[in-house]
Amino acid sequence: MESLVLAGMVLFLIVLIMGKEYLNSRSFRKQNLEKIYQSYGTLSERKYKAGEIEHIQKYYLRHPEEGQIDDITWNDLNMDDIYQKINVSCSAAGDEYLYYRLRTPFYNQHEIDKWENLIGFFMEHKEERCSIQGTLYNLGRMGRYSLHEYIENLDVLGERNNIGYILSDLAMLICIVVMFLSLPIGIVALLIVLCHNIIGYFKEYKEIEPYITSFRYINRVLDTAEQLGKKKIAGIAGEQERLLACHQKMKGFIRNAYLISYIEKGNGNPLGILLDYIRMIFYLDLIQFNNALRAVRGHLAAIDEMVTLIGKIETAVVIGSYRESLRGAYCVPVIQFGDHSNRHIAIEDLYHPLLHDPVTNSISADKGVLLTGSNASGKSTFLRAVALNAVMAQTIHTCPASRYEAPVFRIYSSMSLKDDLINGDSYYMVEIKSIKRILDQTKKAGEYHCCVLCFVDEVLRGTNTVERIAASTQIMRMLAAGHVICFAATHDLELTRLLETEYDNYHFEERIEEEDVCFPYTLMPGPATTRNAIALLKVLGYDGQIIVDAERMAERFLTEGRWQNESNNIH
C-alpha cells in the first residue's frame, strides 16, 4: 500500500512539473507572438552574430541564376546592412529567402506581378498575416548553420544500415532471458551489453548529431508546410497546394523522424530523461536516423521546394512590414519590360534608406550622368541611393522614393574598392578588373534583352592624372554606348568637357559660412564650379601660409595650365 502511495506521489510530481513547463511555454509563446504582431511596420532590431550572414546566404548560393547581384555590387551598396534593417523574419526559411530575393532581380513581368500581389495581400489582410506569423514562429531557426549546409554534407555520411543496432538490441533481449535462467550470469552479461551499447551510441551519435538537428528542423518544416497548406487563405492558394504535395511525398520521413523530434521536445523533464536512457540503450534514434536519412536523400527536391515556398510567403510578409515602416516614403516601381532600346530612368524624391534624416533628390535621364562636386558633398551617397532604388525595384518591388520608372536592368557597380593583399593586386589593378567586368557585361546587353545600369565612383583614381583622364574618357565613352546607362562621380573637371555630349552633367556643392563648411546635399544641374579642398584645410586650422601658397599655386595652374615649382618661395 505504501509503495502505491509513493508511486502515486511520484507520478503526481511528474505530471505537475510537466504541466508547469507546458503552461510556461504557452505563456512565453503568447508573449513573443504579441511582440511579433505589434512590431509589424517597424524596422528590425535583431543583432547578428559574427559570421551569421555567411550561413544565411547558403540558400542563395545553392540557387544561382543569371543576372543576380554580384559580390562587388552587393558590398558597394552595403546590402548586408539593408538586409539586416529589413529582416523581421521569424524563421530560417524567411531569413534565407529574403537574402536570396534581395540578390535576385526579376526580369519577367508576370513573376513580378505575382510577387506584388502576394505582398499586397498580406498588407491588406491582417488576420491571415498574423495566422501565418504564428505558424512561422513555431518553425523558428535551427541554430548556427543553415539547413542547406547539412544537406550539402549528407554524402559525407556514406551508406548506413541498422543491422549492427538490431543485433545489439537482440543481445539485450537475450541477456534478459538469461537472467530468468541464471540471475548472476544474466546481470553480468546485461551490464556488458549495456556498456557496449552506451559507448557505441555516443561514438555513433557524435558523428550524426549535427544531422539529427537538421532532421528535427526538416520535421518542423513538414509540420509548417502541413499547417500552412490547410489554412483557408485565398492569397496563397497555389503555394498551399504545392506545400501539401511536397508534404505527401515525405510521409516516409515523417514516420522515421517522429522519435527524433519527440526526444527534442522531451529534453529537460523527467519523461525526457527516461526516454534519453531508453534511446541510448536500444539505439532507437540512430535506427530512425538511418531510415530518415534514406527518405531525405530521396526527396531533396521536395525539401528544397518547401523551404522555398515557406521562405517566399514569409518574405512577402516582411516586405509588407518594411513598407509600413517607411510611413509612406516609398513607391511601387513602374518597370517597363519589352522595350530594350528604352534607356529612360526617372526617380523622384529618392533617398538612401540607411540615413536617419536623408535629403531627397530627383533625377531624370536618357543617357549617362556625370557627377562632380567637392569632397563630402554627397556624390557617392547619391550614386548608392540611385543604385539601391534600381536593385530594390527589381528584387523586393519597393523603392525609397516617391516615383520610380525605368526599364529592366542588369545592375553593376565599381565603388568601394580596396587593395587585394591576398592575390597581390594593387588598388589600380583591382579597379581596372572591376571596371572590365562591367565593360564585358555591356557587350552582352543585347543578349540579355535589357539595359545595363552601372555606377562608377572616381574612375581610375589609382593612377596618375594624365593617364587617368585619357583612359577614363575612353572607358566612359564605352559605357555611354548602346544599351547602357552609367552614373559616375569624378573630381576631374576635365571629363565634364570631354564627355559633355555623352553625359548629362550634375553636381553637388558646399557653402562656407563663418569658418565652417555646410553641405545642402542637393543635386544641381551642370558641372561643379567651386573647390573646397584648400578651404577645408583652413577650417581645420592648418597653418595660414600653407593655405595662401596652395591657393596661389592652384590659381596659377588654372590660368597658365601648368604647375610651377615654388619651393624657393616657401617661408
Q: pLDDT of 416-445, one tens digit each?
A: 877 666 676 787 888 889 999 999 998 887
Q: Same domain for 232 and 300?
A: yes
Q: Same domain for 387 and 407?
A: yes
Q: Same domain for 218 and 78?
A: yes
Q: Same domain for 356 and 210?
A: no
For residue 541, the tally of other CB atoms under 10 A from its CB is 8
pLDDT at 342: 79
Domain-embedded: residue 5: no
Domain termination site, one of 325, 342, 364: 325
Q: Count of domains in the chain?
A: 2
Domain termination site, one of 286, 306, 325: 325
CATH code (residue 482): 3.40.50.300
Q: Same domain for 178 and 261?
A: yes
Contact between 122 and 320 under an 8 Å Cβ cutoff? The reply is yes
Domain-embedded: residue 309: yes
What's the rounded Cα separation, in Å, for the pair 358 and 401? 11
Contact between 89 and 318 under an 8 Å Cβ cutoff? The reply is yes
For the chain, how many residues are written? 571
Residue 393 phi/psi, 5-degree rounding, is -60, -45
Domain-embedded: residue 23: no
pLDDT at 284: 82
Q: Same domain for 243 and 389?
A: no
Cell of 472: 577614363
Contact between 243 and 306 under an 8 Å Cβ cutoff? The reply is yes
Contact between 253 and 292 under an 8 Å Cβ cutoff? The reply is yes
Question: Any residues with CB less than 8 A from the CB of 508 and at least 6 apart, and which?
Answer: 371, 373, 374, 377, 378, 379, 382, 519, 521, 522, 523, 524, 528
pLDDT at 113: 96
pLDDT at 427: 77
Q: Same domain for 170 and 93?
A: yes
- Cα separation values, 557 from 209, 529, 553, Å: 72, 16, 6
Q: Same domain for 496 and 466?
A: yes
Residue 414 phi/psi, 5-degree rounding, is -145, 95
Q: Containing domain of residue 369, as a range?
A: 334-510+517-526
- Please choose, from the candidates 247, 402, 236, 237, the residue with its C-alpha nearest in 3D space to the C-alpha of residue 315: 236
pLDDT at 266: 46
pLDDT at 182: 87
pLDDT at 200: 87
Domain-embedded: residue 201: yes
First to last CA, the chain: 110
Q: Same domain for 307 and 436?
A: no
Domain-embedded: residue 554: no
Q: Same domain for 310 and 457?
A: no
Query: The whole model's pTM is what?
Result: 0.86
Cell of 559: 590660368
Domain-embedded: residue 349: yes
What's the rounded Cα separation, in Å, for the pair 240 and 221? 13
Q: Same domain for 299 and 378?
A: no
Strands 345-350 and 361-365: antiparallel
CATH code (residue 194): 1.10.1420
pLDDT at 142: 83
Contact between 154 and 111 under an 8 Å Cβ cutoff? The reply is no
The string of pLDDT tens digits covering residues 442-468 is 888 777 778 999 999 988 877 788 888
Q: Which of the residues in the chain have pLDDT under 50? A: 28, 264-267, 570-571
Domain termination site, one of 302, 325, 348: 325
pLDDT at 465: 80
Q: Same domain for 291 and 147?
A: yes
Residue 378 phi/psi, 5-degree rounding, is 120, 5
The string of pLDDT tens digits covering residues 505-559 is 999 988 777 667 788 999 999 998 777 777 777 777 788 888 888 888 888 876 7
Domain-embedded: residue 13: no
One-letter amino acid of 280: M
What's the rounded Cα separation, in Å, for the pair 196 and 283? 11
Domain-embedded: residue 297: yes
What's the rounded Cα separation, in Å, for the pair 25 and 386? 47
